């Protein structure tokens, strides 16, 4: 296939996906309706490339080539009519995704593959918004995308084997490992991860231990590279809440019900790294967040 793709959504996941494809020689249209999101995303990509240069993974020449591979635009339009893969990486909101997918369906050729980076929403449901559901698939990247080696690939009810094979091959071209899931809520990664994060938040909420102890026990005792509370901050507490809500609604099982502390922190705007504060305070170095203490059982 042509090495030309479109990524819709210039947030944390979208800019990471664009970065990774550009690194491996793909021409990337990075699209976001919010013009104020695009330039910061481009600058983030440049900074992350600089980190790779310092580690000896890339050169300044490669940086220039990668940045030239990325084109920014604020709308889905005829510019992407020839791409053979479009990846939707907008917020974890069904209505937002529906709007984006219907627009993509209008401008892409009938041979194009559309992939969603959704972390929990049904691929079969999302495929119903396009005219060729056999060419629709889930392509769930992990954060940070340039670093994490996994792509969780999810087939919908109508996804063709040829689509699956193409996406598997593209994933390998990105020097990543494709692993596969059927279309069930949360797929594999978040069906297992989110209940663990939620249980860690409940452990804090109930006063069993403080933030440092919970994260430290999981890191030192279970060999996790990052504690579940810090990981939640990194993912975004709003994203964690959205995924848990999908799991709870789809499985109708109380074990997936999001904790009150998580709900309240999101309502208070404490979303983790993206807002500067979550379970840790990122404005003045990593330390315990204090605002949430009022919700913790004494």
* Catalytic residue set: 119, 140, 152, 190
Provide the token pair at 277.
């504060």
Cα distances (angstroms) measured from residue 278 to each of 103, 132, 267, 292: 35, 41, 12, 8
Tell me if residue 112 falls in helix, strand or coil: coil
Angle formed by the axes of helices 211-222 and 228-235, to 10°?
110
Q: What does the alpha-carbon distance between residue 53 and residue 109 come to, in Å, rounded to a whole number?
A: 37
Beta bridge partner(s), residue 136: 114
Closest alpha carbon to 7 in 94, 60, 95, 69: 69
Provide the token pair at 45.
């990509």
Please tell me the chain's helix, strand, coil percentages from 3-state DSSP, rounded to the nearest 5.
50, 15, 35
Closest alpha carbon to 163 in 207, 128, 114, 125: 114
What are the helix (H) ranges across the chain?
Answer: 12-23, 35-54, 60-68, 94-107, 123-127, 161-173, 189-205, 211-222, 228-235, 237-251, 260-267
């Amino acid at each position: 296939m042509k090495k030309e793709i479109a990524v819709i959504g210039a947030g944390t996941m979208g800019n990471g996906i664009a970065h990774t494809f550009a690194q491996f020689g793909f021409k990337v249209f990075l699209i976001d309706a919010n013009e104020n999101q695009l330039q910061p995303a481009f600058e983030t990509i440049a900074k992350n490339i600089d980190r790779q240069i310092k580690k000896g993974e890339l050169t300044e020449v490669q940086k220039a080539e990668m940045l030239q591979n990325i084109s920014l635009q604020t709308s889905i339009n005829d510019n992407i009519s020839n791409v053979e893969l479009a990846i939707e990486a907008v917020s974890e909101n069904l209505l937002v995704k529906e709007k984006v997918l219907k627009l993509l369906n209008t401008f892409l050729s009938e041979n194009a593959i559309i992939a969603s980076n959704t972390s929990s929403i049904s691929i079969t449901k999302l495929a119903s918004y396009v005219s060729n559901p056999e060419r629709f698939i889930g392509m769930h990247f992990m954060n940070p995308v340039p670093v994490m080696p996994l792509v969780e690939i999810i087939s919908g009810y109508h996804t063709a084997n040829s689509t699956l094979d193409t996406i598997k091959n593209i994933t390998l071209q990105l020097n990543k490992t494709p692993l596969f899931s059927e279309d069930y809520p949360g797929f594999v990664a978040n069906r297992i991860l989110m209940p663990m994060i939620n249980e860690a938040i409940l452990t804090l909420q109930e006063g069993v231990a403080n933030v440092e102890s919970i994260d430290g026990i999981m890191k030192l005792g279970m060999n996790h590279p990052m504690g579940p509370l810090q990981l939640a901050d990194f993912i975004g507490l709003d994203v964690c809440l959205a995924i848990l809500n999908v799991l709870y609604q789809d499985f109708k099982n109380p074990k997936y019900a999001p904790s009150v502390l998580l709900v309240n922190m999101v309502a208070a705007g404490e979303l983790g790294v993206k807002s500067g504060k979550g379970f840790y305070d990122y404005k003045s170095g990593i330390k315990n967040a204090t605002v949430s203490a009022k919700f913790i059982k004494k």
